[in-house]
Chain A
Amino acid sequence: MVLGLLGMDSHENGAIAVASLLRDAGVEVIYLGRYQTPDTLLRAAVQEDVDVIGVSCHSWEYLEYLPALMERIPAEAPDVAVVAGGSVITPADAARLTALGVAAVFGSGAAPEHMVATVRRLAAARREALELPPAAPPGPPAPTPT
């Protein structure tokens, strides 16, 4: 997956924590860092042939950028799942994002094993649909989704 922050959002703690969590669980994470836009996220996702785009949100800019990203997904990366996480995402926002087609939204209380399992499930679904080999090397079984 690729993981980044949108616009001027510079609160990287969460993104770095999630990147290390996922890497520890065997997920290949390309950390794009700050100053991403829908454009740069899509370009990286296509170039790197990733299964999932992850967006860390600690600024309200995601309210403008995520709808713009989701609008472009069907044409530019139709099989890639988008997930978003961050403490600024309120329950009402989460419902709106889900309606836009965001595959999963993680609040600050999201359980680590839940995030890992969700990303793995989304990646596996894409690779199965495209008849690609599994992404993660064989390792311990994925935790059960909660």
Chain B
Amino acid sequence: MSENRTRSGVPLKTFYEATDLPRPGAPQSPPGEYPFTRGRLGSGQKAAAWIQRELSGEGDPAHSNAQLHYLIAKGQTGIDVIGDSPTQAQMDPDHPLAVHAVGTQGVSLCCKADYLELFHGLPLDGISISSSVPSLFGMTGLYLAAQAAGVAPERVRGSVLQVPLYSEDCGYPTYLPCELRARLSADVMEFCAAAMPRFHSYVEDTYFFSESGLTAVEEMALGFVEIRFLARELLRRGVPIDRFAPRIAILVNCSMDFYEEVAKLRATRRLYARMMKEEFGAQDARSLSVNLTSHTSGLTLTAEQPANNIVRGAIQALALAMGGAQAIEISAFDEAYRTPSPESHLVGLRTQQILELESGVSRVADPFGGSYFMEALTSELERRIEAMVREIEAEGDPVHLADSGWFKGFFHRAMERHAREIREGAARVVGHNVHQIPEEEDLLLRDVSERKIRPWSERVERIRSFKAGRGRERLHSALSGVLEAARARTGNLVPPVLAAVEADATMGEITGTLRTAYGFPYDPHRMVQPPTMEGAP
């Protein structure tokens, strides 16, 4: 970040005055009113309350269940679960490439019994259950767990993430073609619009792809490109905009450029409202006011002097609270070098509680509203985001751009740019490229980094014996159902997938079956065979 520009490159003056207001003298709508710049909620509702949670999950489902109960007991008001790397890549824990990664960076989940165990004893109709595991399985797993617990799925609140265009480039690749990923995202949205009306079936996760080092403008532009793409697909299917738009949310990143991050939330709400109203014809106020949830940036954290990361998390969470985020997760202070420890989860949660209960920040909505500077910056970001959306859309069909590697190139250039800015000192990172200390002095909170989570080999064994003990006929017929429905290229895939999960098919098996239906190898690593082929040469 240079002295006189934001991280996105917006030039800054040393101070702002009335003439800098985008529309001097024009009245602004209050929070809760179109275009929702100042916030989603109106008067009569709590000014700036947010759901407080920490992204969690490690080991097997039972271990993660205990972790969730622990966090709720400590005051967490929502849940967000992330899978281990095999789960995120839609691979079962017994896959040969997965075994050293089972349970170390998140929870290992692959079948119906896992979700029942993960959510056991949790108030599934009282708390918002967000899931950062692959959306098709996070949603079906929660659906079945709710049914098993006697809670009607219509009553369940929570969310799943959808990033069909970018998931292969930034996250854990699933080797599903973009066409199929997009179909599945739209299928989940269409299914939930009817079956889980309180559930956010579409959280646009701009967080994870912006961690490649994107600016705030790039982050939101790509997010809008994806939202618009999926909205058009749902409309093409004949789902009315006001049936699904209220269930769209955006999980935004929050980096260290404080004012720009506040302005980003404000600009995003306004642009979203305008787009939904003017372009898509939405009328329901809930379709126009997007729910912004957030995660503070892991990329801004340093392995050096980890205690400094607590300060970074607090500053970013403050920006999110002042920008009007509906839910906040703080990246754990030890995230640069390990899967979050219980200590760092607790510090993240306590940071939020201090912000809410001690700082008074939540007493007033949109405290920056009317500020010469903030209003100018909000309008400038809105203008730049919208312009970039048009530029990207002019490049062509997003599915084609994804398959041809256009987005991948975009992310790679951002990664290189980010690394160069830090290497050359254009971006200053305390403890890393300025104000460093020798390693032997860097001891505060260092001890947690030496405590490791070992791969859960017993989990691998358990899934192997679970697979061997299943009723084969029911399993094969359920997987055939998925195969045929996927091959048909039309029709919603959620019901056959739900039936397969019910029949104890695993995520790896269902994913492999979907790949096969689209002409791709069952296992991209060519190490495992479909259950229907087991024993075949």
Contacts and interface: CB of A to CB of B under 8 A. Distances in A.
B439 A8 contact: no
A63 B453 CA distance: 11
Contacts of B412: 16
B455 interface: yes
Interface stretch (A42-50, A75-83, A106-114, A134-142): A106-114
Contact of B85 (A9, A107, A108, A109): A9
Given A10-B172, A17-B419, A109-B303, A91 B100 contact: no
Nearest to B169: A12
Contact of A35 (B213, B336, B525): B525
Nearest to A108: B303
Interface in A17-36: 17, 20-21, 34-35
Contacts of A92: 450
Contact of B171 (A9, A10, A16, A90): A10
State the main secondary structure of chain B at its contact with A. Answer: loop
Nearest to A16: B415
Contacts of B211: 13
A16 B416 contact: yes
A11 B213 CA distance: 13
Nearest to B96: A37
A65 B303 CA distance: 22
B338 interface: yes
B492 interface: no
Interface residues of B, number: 40
Interface in B314-350: 336-338
Interface in B240-271: none
Contacts of A8: 85-86, 89, 91, 97-98, 100-101, 172
Interface in A101-126: 107-109, 112
B97 A37 contact: yes
B198 to A, nearest CB: 32
Contact of A21 (B98, B423, B436, B525): B423
Interface in B423-464: 423, 432, 436, 439, 449-450, 452-453, 455
A7 B85 CA distance: 10
Contact of B104 (A35, A37, A59, A65): A59
Interface of A: 7-10, 12-13, 16-17, 20-21, 34-35, 37, 59-61, 63-65, 87-88, 90-92, 107-109, 112
Given A13-B415, A64-B455, A90-B337, 6 more contacts: A7-B98, A7-B100, A13-B299, A21-B419, A61-B101, A109-B432
The 8 A-B pairs of least Cβ separation, nearest first, read A17-B419, A8-B85, A87-B303, A8-B101, A108-B303, A64-B100, A61-B100, A16-B415
